[in-house]
Structure 1
Amino acid sequence: MRGEVSGQGAFSSWPAGWRRLTLAQAGKWLSGGTPATSNEAYWDGDIPWISGASMKEFHIKDSDRRVTLLGARNGSRLVGKGTTLFVVRGMSLKSEFRIGVAERELAFGQDCKAVIPGDGIDPYFLAYAIKVRTPEILRMVEETSHGTGRLDTARLQELEIGIPSMAEQRRIVAAYDAFDRRIAGLKGLLGKLRVAEDALIANALSQDRSSSWERVRLDSVASVAAGVTLGAEPVGEGTVELPYLRVANVLDGRIDVTEVKTVRIVRSHYGRFALRKGDLLLTEGGDLDKLGRGAVWDGRIEDCLHQNHVFRVRCGERMLPKFLALYTSSVEGRAYFQAVGKQTTNLASINSTQVRLMRVPVPPAEEQESVLKPIQSIRDRQAAMERQIAKLRTVQQGVVRDLLGGATRLPLV
Structure 2
Amino acid sequence: MSNLELPAGWVRTSLADVGEVVSGATPKTNIAEYWGGDIPWITPDDLSKNPAKRTKVGRRSLTRSGYNSCSTRIVPPESVLFSSRAPIGYVTIASDYLCTNQGFKTIIPGPAACADYLYWYLQYKTPDIIANASGTTFKEISGKKFAETELLLPPLAEQYRIVEALEDHLSRLDAATEAVTSAKRRLNSFSASVLNRTTLGISSTAGFVPGTGNSSHALLQNLSSRRFEYTALPPLPEGWFWRQASDVCTLISSGSTPKAHLMHAGSGDVPFLKVYNITQDGQVDFTNKPTYIDRETHEIHLKRSRVRPGDVITNIVGPPLGKTAVVPNQHPEWNINQAIVVFRSGPDIQPEWLALILQSPTVIEMLKKTAKATAGQFNIALSTCRELPLPIPPRDVQLELVKQSAEILEISDRFNKQAAIISLRAKKFRQAVLRRAFLGKLVPQSPADEPPSILLDRIRAEQEPGDSKAQRATRRRQGETTAKTSLAPSAPTTTVQQELPL
Same fold (TM over 0.5): yes
Give the equivalent residue in structure 2 for 1:336: 366
- What does 1:8-407 correspond to in 2, within 5 Å? 8=1, 12-45=4-37, 48-56=40-48, 57=51, 59-61=53-55, 65-68=59-62, 70=64, 71-72=66-67, 74-75=69-70, 76-90=72-86, 92-93=87-88, 97-144=89-136, 147-177=137-167, 178-202=169-193, 204-206=195-197, 209=202, 211-212=236-237, 213-218=240-245, 220=248, 224-231=252-259, 233-234=261-262, 240=268, 246=274, 265-269=293-297, 282-285=314-317, 290=319, 292-296=321-325, 306-312=336-342, 318-319=349-350, 321=352, 327-342=357-372, 349-363=379-393, 364-406=398-440
Amino acid at match of 2:314: L
Aligned residues: 390
| SS of residue matched to 1:14 | coil
| SS of residue matched to 1:116 | strand
Deviation at 1:282, TM superposition (A): 3.4
Alpha-carbon spacing, 1:191–1:409, altered in 2? closer, same or farther (3 Å): closer
| SS of residue matched to 2:367 | helix
Alpha-carbon spacing, 1:77–1:198, altered in 2? closer, same or farther (3 Å): same
Alpha-carbon distance in 1 for matches of 2:151, 2:391: 60
Amino acid at match of 2:85: R
Deviation at 1:47, TM superposition (A): 5.2
Give the equivalent residue in structure 1 for 2:457: none
| SS of residue matched to 2:202 | helix
Deviation at 1:404, TM superposition (A): 0.4
Deviation at 1:73, TM superposition (A): 5.2
Deviations 1:307-354 (A, max 9, x none): 322335577895465x65654354421343234435679865323343
Deviations 1:53-78 (A, max 9, x none): 33322525367621045244553333
Gaps of 5+ in 1: 1-7
Amino acid at match of 1:410: V
Amino acid at match of 1:78: I
Deviation at 1:180, TM superposition (A): 3.9
Deviations 1:134-165 (A, max 9, x none): 33222222223xx2222234233323221112
Give 1 or 2: higher strand fraction: 1
Alpha-carbon spacing, 1:184–1:345, altered in 2? closer, same or farther (3 Å): closer
Alpha-carbon distance in 2 for matches of 1:254, 1:118: 55
Alpha-carbon spacing, 1:122–1:65, altered in 2? closer, same or farther (3 Å): same
Deviation at 1:21, TM superposition (A): 1.3
C-alpha contact 1:244 1:261 (8 A) present in aligned 2: no
Q: Percent identity?
A: 23
Deviations 1:101-155 (A, max 9, x none): 33444321012111112213121211222221233222222223xx222223423
Deviation at 1:248, TM superposition (A): 7.1
Of residues 355-364 and 134-143 in structure 1, the stretch that sits farther from structure 2 once superposed is: 355-364
Alpha-carbon distance in 2 for matches of 1:315, 1:132: 52
C-alpha contact 2:252 2:343 (8 A) present in aligned 1: yes
When the two chains are superposed, the root-mean-square deviation of aligned CA atoms in Å is 4.3
C-alpha contact 2:191 2:412 (8 A) present in aligned 1: no
C-alpha contact 2:278 2:325 (8 A) present in aligned 1: no
Alpha-carbon distance in 2 for matches of 1:22, 1:124: 17
Amino acid at match of 1:284: I
Deviation at 1:252, TM superposition (A): 6.8
Give the equivalent residue in structure 1 for 2:443: 410
| Structure of greater Rg | 2
Gaps of 5+ in 2: 204-235, 447-502
| SS of residue matched to 1:186 | helix
Give the equivalent residue in structure 1 for 2:498: none
Alpha-carbon distance in 1 for matches of 2:417, 2:389: 31
Q: Which has the higher contact order (CA 8 A, sep 6+)?
A: 2
Alpha-carbon distance in 2 for matches of 1:309, 1:293: 12
